[in-house]
Amino acid sequence: MEPLIEGTEDRLSTLFSDRQVADLPNNGRDFNNLLDGVPGVQRSPGGGFQSLNINGQRATSNNFAVDGIPNNDRYYGEASLGQAAISGTAAALIPLEGISEFNVQSNPGAEFGIRGGSVINIGLKSGTNQLHGSAFWDRHTDAFDARNWFATAVTPFRLNQFGASAGFPIKKDKAFLFMSYQGFHLKNVFPASVAIPTPAEISDATQCVTTGINPNASGEGPFDINNPNTPVCLNNGPGPGSDQIFGTADDGTVNSIGANILSFIPTSASGGLNVAAANSLDLNNFHVKFDYIFNSKHRVSVKYLFGDSFQSQPAAPGVPQAVGPLATSPNMWNSVAPSRAQLAGINYTWTLSPTKILESRFGYQRFSQRISVNNNIDPSALGLNTGPLGAGPQDKENFMVPSFYYLGYFGNTNYPVVGGVQGYPIVTRPNASYDWQEHLTMIKGNHTIKVGGQYQDAFTKSRRDRAHAELSF
């Protein structure tokens, strides 16, 4: 890294060269990991949304850029290329093979607008007069992994990470091209040991919600399915005023909604279960950069970056896979997050004189993400009427099977057993910005003067509906 103190400007910065970016250990080949080597940086363990703080600033105060072009998601306040998704890992990345430098300025100058915190700027590699490139493939499987002491088998794990880069001339000394690609594909499970109901408890609960009577009742007492002193399970019993949405209707009619919901819940004679909830991540990123030198005074650089991913994971490690005849998939309650980030930019440099340089920057960035639940069951199949279930994705996400919490089991009552996370969907579709900058640098003897301006048109079309219902057993 370069010295932390900049002698010509009043700023504190850390610079990683392309050699350092390539040589430093980097688990996952995520450029965000370079921030661990920067003084004053705090990153939340495990990553996730808004997990980066620099010198005590809020996570939303950081300013991200690629070749000086803004890379900011204006809704969440993070980087578009580099922002986390549900699993804590990035939803889109810039391939390490394409990074020429990684610079963090903790107290940037006035030329960096938009936000008042630190600036994280990534410089992209350019082609040269020689053909040069690289390729890599990292693979990790469970073939040589040890079994967890409390597990009966080795935890499944499959990771493939690969990529390549190439830089070459299109016209010697005039036109150059550089390209890079990086893929990340992971499939593993979250092992956990949790308490679950026994078959007898589910049988009693099923009888309770279909008849309103506790099969173990022998007296009076507060409601408890396992308390033999509780004669009735439903508040006020079947009939009008029962306040029940499953089990019996207000007119006393028995329905099968409660029994259908209970059929998704796994059981164990011992009351315990080793859960192996599946997690997957597929991430593809690439960038291309074109440079053209008109003459000694004029040059232009055009770049385009793209990242696309799909992540799927359970609401929590202790949430079991769905079972029963109505389960369409073992991972049907997983949280899923398809994401896409794009950035395009033009940098034009005009050397007016040996002491004057004008740089123009034009940029566009776009981030799109939909976090929802892998919940494809029509609620009417369970006897539920949740609302107008149309063909659009919003209807399916907002009026799908509600989140059900079976209190006292599965390790944590804050996580749903059926129906997935209640707070979803979260739709970011899209956040985007157009940016125009002009920077003039002038040198007068021992003095350097910088003047310029920036115009940005940014917008967001995001929402958090929270129409997905939540119920508890």
Output the six-digit token pair for 57.
């600033």
The pTM of this model reads: 0.84
- Give pLDDT tens digits for 222-276: 445 455 555 555 554 444 444 444 455 555 555 677 777 777 777 888 877 777 7
Query: Of 69-83, 154-168, 331-345, 402-416, which range is least confident?
Result: 402-416
Instruction: Name the residue with tokens 């990086």.
Output: 182
Parallel/antiparallel/unpaired status of strands 99-105 and 119-124: antiparallel
Q: Please report the pLDDT score of residue 411 as a whole number.
A: 43
The burial class, CB within 10 Å (0-12 / 13-18 / 19+), for 119 is buried
Q: Answer yes or no: is 219 within a domain.
A: no
| Cα 55 to Cα 405: distance, rounded to the nearest angstrom | 40
Domain housing 99: 13-196+270-472
Output the six-digit token pair for 446.
């021992």
- Give pLDDT tens digits for 405-444: 665 444 444 455 677 777 788 887 788 999 999 999 999 9
Q: Answer yes or no: is 102 within a domain.
A: yes
Q: Please report the pLDDT score of residue 111 as a whole number.
A: 78
Q: Answer yes or no: is 353 within a domain.
A: yes
- Give pLDDT tens digits for 352-366: 999 999 999 999 999
Tally the domains of the chain: 1
Q: Please report the pLDDT score of residue 307 as a whole number.
A: 96
Q: Answer yes or no: is 201 within a domain.
A: no
Q: Answer yes or no: is 257 within a domain.
A: no
Q: What percent of the chain has pLDDT over 90?
A: 33
Write out the H or E segment, with its range, that includes residue 397. Answer: helix 393-398
Q: Answer yes or no: is 224 within a domain.
A: no
Is pLDDT above 70 for 72? yes
Adjacency order of strands within the sheet including 119-124 = 13-17, 99-105, 119-124, 63-66, 69-70
The pair phi, psi for residue 79, each rounded to 5°, is -75, 140
- Give pLDDT tens digits for 358-401: 999 999 999 998 888 887 677 777 777 776 665 555 667 777 77
Q: Please report the pLDDT score of residue 454 as a whole number.
A: 92
- Strands (DSSP E) found in 68-115: 69-70, 99-105
Q: Which residues of 28-43 are buried (b: 16+ CB within 10 A; e: fewer)?
A: bbbbbbbbeebeebeb
| Cα 235 to Cα 214: distance, rounded to the nearest angstrom | 12
Q: Residue 320 carries which DSSP code?
A: P
Q: Answer yes or no: is 214 within a domain.
A: no
Q: Answer yes or no: is 167 within a domain.
A: yes
